[in-house]
Amino acid sequence: MRFGSCTHVVSTVLAALGLFATLPSSAAKAAEPVVVYSARNEQLIKPIFDRFTAESGIPVRFTTADAAVLIERLAAEGKNSPADLLMTVDAGELWNASNRGLLRPTRSKILEANIPATLRDPGNRWVGLSQRARTIVYHPSRVDPRTLSTYEALADPVWKARLCLRSSKKVYNQSLVAMMIKARGETATETTLRGWVANLAAPPFANDNQVMEAIAAGQCDVGIVNTYYLGRMLQKQPEFPVKVFWANQRGDGTHVNVSGAGITRHARNPAGAQALLEWLSAGEAQRLFAGSNMEYPVNPNVEIDPLVRSWGSFTPSRINIVEAGRRQATAVRVMDRAGWR
């Protein structure tokens, strides 16, 4: 076989690839675009970015992937990274990015005024933009809510074969456990988790929807989920038989995680990125950012979605969310030791 003919084919194909390369656009000089690496998915961010562009004239370009992968990408690209802003759906990854020196501190009076201190990085490298409450849900005809109190109480043997949990692989559970460790220490938390595992009615589920469906179908009576999953379920089926219980109201408050963002170390347009963050932290943008996914706004002055409001108000945890990241690796170890798969 003649080698030359095949190299020709290969080189033609490689030349064709050049056609698909996206060249840096020279037309966007008018307003420098903000480039976002986002773990928050496209359908939740694109409408809001479009609106930002319409109001400010600043274009937004973004790409999505898992946060851990985006962080490796940022690290690999270093100074050459096009990214100005890293957006994630939990605080752990933001802590990880800032811990690796990939985010830069930003002082902003607007962000400080709009976002409670517990939902911001103490080093000002990232802020929360919406709150995701993770709390207890139950079946109203099989559980009297007066018998519910705290996450920890679900370890009690009265819940034997009545509890459903999502897999410990999900960061939402890892953050919850990290905050429990901060509040009560490793040993006490491990005891609680062992109790949970002993009470499981079914092997852990792959997502929060399956946990709620199992409760509705009678496989178990209580579970722990992010409330926006229930919100979506109720939008489809208003009679869905699962109710919210606000955990730990007499103690340290219900666990909230954040979907948030931070400006990258090597941002080329930090001013644009800051403008986007500030815009997202207030007014209609803040309402949309949280409301489009039935999450809670971080800005206390912004109106909550009516369905979400119907679950009543609650006291969130008073511990700074940065602890969720700082203790996440420890949380995973404790979960492993307790046998929570």
Partner 1 sequence: MLARWRASFVILLAAAPAVVVLLGLAGAWLTPAGDTLQHQWRYLLPDAARNTLILVMTVALGAALLGTALAALVALYEFPGRAFFSWSLLLPLSIPGYVLAAVFAGSLDYSSPLYSWLREQFGWQWPSIRSLGGAALVLMLTLFPYVYLIARVAFESAAQRYLEAASLLGRTRRQATREVLLPLVLPAVLAATALVAMETLADFGVVAALNVDTLTTALYRAWYGMFSLVTAQQVAGLLVLAALLLLALEHRARSWVRVREASGPVLQRRPLPALTAALATLFASSILGISFAWPVMHLLSWASAHLTADLDARYWGYFVRSLMLAGLGALLIVSISTLFVYARRNAVGRIARVVAPFATAGYAIPGAVLAVGLFAPMTQALPWLQGTLFVLFVAYITRFFAVGHAPIAAGLARLPTALDESALLLGSRPLERWQHIHWPLLKGSVAAAFVLTFVDLMKELPITLLTRPFGFETLAIRVFELTSEGEWERAAVPALALVLAGLWPLKWLAGRMPHAT
Name the site residues for partner 1 (rule: CB under 8 A). Answer: 1-3, 5-6, 9-10, 13, 16-18, 20-24, 35, 41-44, 61-66, 68-69, 72-73, 75-78, 80, 82, 89, 96, 99, 167, 169, 171, 174, 202-210, 213-214, 216-217, 219, 229, 232, 293, 328-329, 332-333, 336-337, 341
Q: How far is the CB of 3 from partner 1 (least distance, A)?
A: 5
Q: How far is the CB of 105 from partner 1 (least distance, A)?
A: 21
Q: How far is the CB of 213 from partner 1 (least distance, A)?
A: 4
Give the integer Cα–Cα distance in Å for 208 and 225: 6
Q: What angle do CA 67, 286, 90 make, to 5 degrees?
A: 25
Measure CA 113 to chain center.
Answer: 22
Q: How far is the CB of 289 from partner 1 (least distance, A)?
A: 14
Residue 91 or 111 with smaller CB distance to partner 1: 91
Q: How far is the CB of 187 from partner 1 (least distance, A)?
A: 17
Give the integer Cα–Cα distance in Å for 284 and 51: 10
Helices (H), the chain: 3-20, 42-56, 67-77, 91-99, 109-114, 171-184, 186-199, 208-217, 227-236, 270-280, 283-291, 306-309, 322-326, 328-338
Give the integer Cα–Cα distance in Å for 304 and 290: 8
Residue 96 or 189 with smaller CB distance to partner 1: 96
Tokens 């429990």 label which residue? 180
Q: Long-range contacts made by residues 330-334, C-beta under 8 angstroms, separation at least 24?
A: 330/178, 330/181, 330/186, 331/174, 331/175, 331/177, 331/178, 331/180, 331/181, 332/168, 332/174, 334/177, 334/181, 334/186, 334/189, 334/190, 334/193
Residue 104 or 166 with smaller CB distance to partner 1: 166
Q: How far is the CB of 185 from partner 1 (least distance, A)?
A: 19
Q: How far is the CB of 79 from partner 1 (least distance, A)?
A: 9
Q: Long-range contacts made by residues 303-309, C-beta under 8 angstroms, separation at least 24?
A: 305/231, 307/231, 307/234, 307/235, 308/227, 308/228, 308/231
Q: How far is the CB of 206 from partner 1 (least distance, A)?
A: 5
Residue 62 or 114 with smaller CB distance to partner 1: 62
Give the integer Cα–Cα distance in Å for 302 and 292: 14
Residue 55 or 66 with smaller CB distance to partner 1: 66
Residue 111 or 196 with smaller CB distance to partner 1: 196
Residue 221 or 278 with smaller CB distance to partner 1: 221
Residue 56 or 64 with smaller CB distance to partner 1: 64
